[in-house]
Structure 1
Amino acid sequence: MPGTTLVERYEDFRTRRFLRQEARMSTWMPQWRSRSRRRALVMALVVIFAGMFATAVGTYFSTPAVLGWIALLVVFLPVWTSLQIVSSRQCDAPRHALDEREIAERNSARSVGLTALQWLVLLPIFALTWGAGVDGLDHRALAYAGGGTALAAVLFGGCLPAMILAWSAPDPDPDTDDHEESS
């Protein structure tokens, strides 16, 4: 392929790999591909993230609250993986695997996710920056709370585009989805 750049070859490879994985996973969890089930997964993630933020702040007052944050992370992983499977990983898809409408929706959702991430990360940044100069605070506990809050913000901001797309996507067309008939 003379004339193609390294980036173009990588995009082609990435597109082929994505389409291969999508074809393999398209029959997984067919009962969960409806809008109502995807929305249930999104709501479960919202609850998990709210719990992560609450336990991260709680680590300032009680160090064992870190165990709650870790427990929520363990619950997060299968819920997040399930959402990615049933929403066909649209937010991660390479541009060559999507049509123009899907690219616009993906980019819009990514923009919202980035904006949310930026605003949410400001909270622990301000707390850590200003709290470092206050003598009456427990700086070790502040570091735990700030780090946990920042990590929850990064996870939330990274997951938000997929959550938006999964929430707003219509039900699959039963005429074109063979895996819906096997449920």
Structure 2
Amino acid sequence: MTSTLIDRYQNYRVRRWLVQEQRTAGMLKSWRSLRRRRILVVVVTIALLGIAVAGVMRALDLFGAPGVAVVSALVFLPSWTMLRIASGGQDHAPDQMLDELEITERNKARSAGLALTQSLTMAPLAYLIFGSAFSPQADAYRIAYAGGLMMLATILAGGCAPAMILGWTRPDPEPEP
């Protein structure tokens, strides 16, 4: 039996998943409870909102947008990493590593993430299109920077949504014997 490119890729994903799971299995044990995962979801959400707010601040030509963006990014990166570790990375697990219920939950969360991405990116996209089309005298740098920050926030929100949904809804892990 010949293996296709997709089969080889799926096998590679499983091997990579197992290595990553082994690497993170003992990390952040105290953060794996539902309460703590929810705290991480809130922190990630606040950080993403901070990036979006920095874009709006730049669009309005308010002082401090780069600082807000940097602080938000510095909060986002570790909290997002912690959330993925604490939630077991089920949002990106290969099908072979999950049972049927987990696959269903993951797919629902991914679908919500895609819908969120599509709906949230419309506002920054409209800003970029109409801001540059109907306001040619505006500073192109300001429009691009503001729109880029807003788009970054919305795309990250949609990409993070599956892990955030699963982190918020999944019950506490079974206690180890």
Q: Could you say which TM-score interval applies, normalised by the shorter chain?
A: over 0.9
Per-residue CA deviation, residues 117-163 of structure 1 (Å, 9 max, x unaligned), is 11111111111111112235433212211111001111111001100
Partner Cα separation in structure 1 for residue 15 and residue 140 of structure 2: 49
Per-residue CA deviation, residues 74-109 of structure 1 (Å, 9 max, x unaligned), is 111110110011111000101111111111111110
Task: Name the SS of the counterpart of 1:133 in structure 2.
Answer: helix
Task: Name the SS of the counterpart of 1:170 in structure 2.
Answer: coil
Task: Name the SS of the counterpart of 1:103 in structure 2.
Answer: helix
Q: Is residue 84 of structure 2 the alignment partner of residue 77 of structure 1?
A: no
The corresponding residue for 2:23 is 24
The runs of at least 4 consecutive aligned structure 1 residues that moved more than 3 Å come to: 135-139
- Between stretches 9-18 and 91-100, larger displacement belongs to 9-18
1:63 is displaced (CA, Å) by 5.9
The corresponding residue for 2:127 is 127
Contact 1:131/1:139 (<8 A) preserved: no
Structural mapping, 1:53-72, within 5 Å: 53-60=52-59, 61-62=61-62, 64-72=64-72
Contact 1:38/1:83 (<8 A) preserved: yes
- Gap regions ≥5 residues in structure 1: 179-183
Contact 1:48/1:72 (<8 A) preserved: yes
The corresponding residue for 2:139 is 138
Q: Is residue 10 of structure 2 the alignment partner of residue 11 of structure 1?
A: yes
1:55 is displaced (CA, Å) by 1.1
1:62 is displaced (CA, Å) by 2.9
Number of aligned pairs?
Answer: 175
TM-score by length of 2: 0.92
TM-score by length of 1: 0.90
